[in-house]
């Protein structure tokens, strides 16, 4: 009990510091590529530090929400194992992939407004990611959970890029107290930065290759990063034979910022994760078939 209380205090203190500077340095970018049987998702985490845990989360573990009142406790038992990245503590996930091939990543969205209190039990917007990876295997299943749980802000304003093993993708925002999701077709721009998907896809129409005449500019602007990533994804899907993992990292390099803490490419087709950090730029590989996700096996993290 003392250990649990100390962990909560430490988490609160760390988050209080982090959130004071989150908005000024957060410029995350995510994308997906589905070409034949090859499916990857890439993500840059832009943040002021690159220290984090890589966590192996087990099946059949009973959990409950960190934010809850006595009348709104949400409890669940993990159905799927997952491998996740976190700077906030075990179970408070920045992004990851489960053994069903579902990937969820988040980025900052300043316009976010989460739902007002109702009868649904609450969960914070980071633990929400772990809940989905524990319980869902498809984009459709993730969206359906909104009927039975409600996000309550604790860490910050987030929106989500969701991708499954069938190549289905979605951008999920919370605007004006409601979940707003866009099912992203393979012919659409499967990208998410730091504006709503609707605004980003509308802006994309102004650029060459997407119906407009403007040259896609450089720079850290969210809409510019969205357009550059969308063009590179389109170029690969149309005619490119480069190794898809290498190409994924080239997209991430193109949209990276001085604040990019790490870059990760999820190989959904083969259940592998590749990542590098700003202080350790060599690419590491993590393969799901190397791990035992049974809850009786030891807890593992780096």
* 3-state SS assignment for residue 142: helix
Which pLDDT band holds residue 70 (cuts at 50, 70, 90)?
low
Instruction: Rounding to the nearest 10 degrees, give the CA dihedral for residues 280, 283, 246, 140.
Output: -100
What DSSP string runs through 208-245? TTTT--BPPP-SS-HHHHHHHHHHHHHHHHHH--S-HH
Residue 226 tokens, joined: 């969205």
What's the full length of the chain, in residues?
302
Which pLDDT band holds residue 302 (cuts at 50, 70, 90)?
very high
Q: Kindly report, residue by residue over 26-68, the tens digit of the pLDDT.
A: 679 999 999 989 999 999 999 887 889 999 999 999 999 987 6
Report pTM: 0.90
- H or E segment at 249? helix 244-254
Q: Kindly report, residue by residue over 177-194, the tens digit of the pLDDT.
A: 999 999 999 999 999 999
Which pLDDT band holds residue 142 (cuts at 50, 70, 90)?
very high
Mention every residue, 6+ apart, whose C-beta is less than 8 A from residue 231.
Answer: 207, 209, 210, 216
Q: What are the phi and psi torsion angles at 247 (to 5°)? A: -65, -40
pLDDT > 70 in the chain, percent: 90
The overall average pLDDT reported for the chain is: 90
Q: Per-residue pLDDT for 294 more than 60? A: yes
Q: What is the pLDDT of residue 203?
A: 98
Comparing CA positions, the residue from 91, 103, 87, 84 lying closest to residue 42 is: 103
Average pLDDT over residues 197-206: 97
Q: What is the pLDDT of residue 99?
A: 98
CATH number where 146 lies: 3.60.60.10
Please report the sign of the dihedral spanned by the C-alpha atoms of residue 130, residue 16, residue 42, residue 56: negative
Q: Kindly report, residue by residue over 116-134, the tens digit of the pLDDT.
A: 988 899 999 999 999 999 9
**Beta partners for residue 272, in sequence order:** 267, 287
Structural domain count, the chain: 1
The domain containing residue 101 runs over which residues? Answer: 2-301
């Amino acid at each position: 009990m003392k250990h649990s209380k100390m962990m909560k205090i430490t988490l609160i203190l760390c988050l209080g510091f982090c959130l004071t500077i989150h908005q000024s340095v957060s410029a995350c970018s995510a994308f997906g590529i589905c070409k034949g049987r090859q499916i990857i998702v890439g993500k840059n985490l832009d943040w002021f530090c690159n220290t984090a845990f890589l966590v192996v989360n087990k099946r059949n573990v009973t959990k409950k929400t960190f934010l809850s009142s006595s009348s709104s406790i949400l409890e669940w038992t993990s159905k799927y194992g997952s491998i996740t990245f976190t700077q906030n503590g075990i179970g408070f996930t920045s992004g990851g992939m489960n053994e069903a091939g579902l990937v969820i990543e988040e980025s900052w969205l300043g316009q976010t407004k989460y739902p007002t209190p109702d009868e649904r039990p609450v969960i914070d917007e980071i633990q929400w990611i772990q809940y989905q990876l524990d319980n869902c295997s498809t984009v459709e299943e993730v969206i359906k959970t909104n009927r039975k749980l409600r996000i309550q802000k604790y860490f910050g304003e987030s929106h989500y890029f969701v991708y499954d093993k069938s190549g289905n993708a979605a951008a999920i925002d919370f605007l004006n107290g409601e979940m707003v999701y866009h099912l992203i077709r393979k012919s659409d721009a499967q990208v998410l930065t730091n504006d709503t998907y609707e605004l980003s896809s509308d802006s994309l129409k102004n650029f060459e290759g997407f119906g407009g005449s403007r040259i896609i500019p450089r720079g850290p602007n969210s809409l510019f990063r969205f357009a550059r990533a969308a063009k590179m994804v389109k170029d690969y899907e149309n005619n490119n034979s480069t190794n898809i993992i290498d190409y994924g990292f080239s997209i991430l390099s193109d949209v990276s910022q001085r604040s990019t803490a790490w870059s990760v490419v999820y190989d959904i087709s083969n259940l592998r994760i590749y990542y590098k950090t700003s202080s350790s730029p060599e690419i590491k590989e993590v393969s799901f078939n190397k791990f035992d996700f049974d809850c009786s096996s030891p807890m593992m993290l780096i």
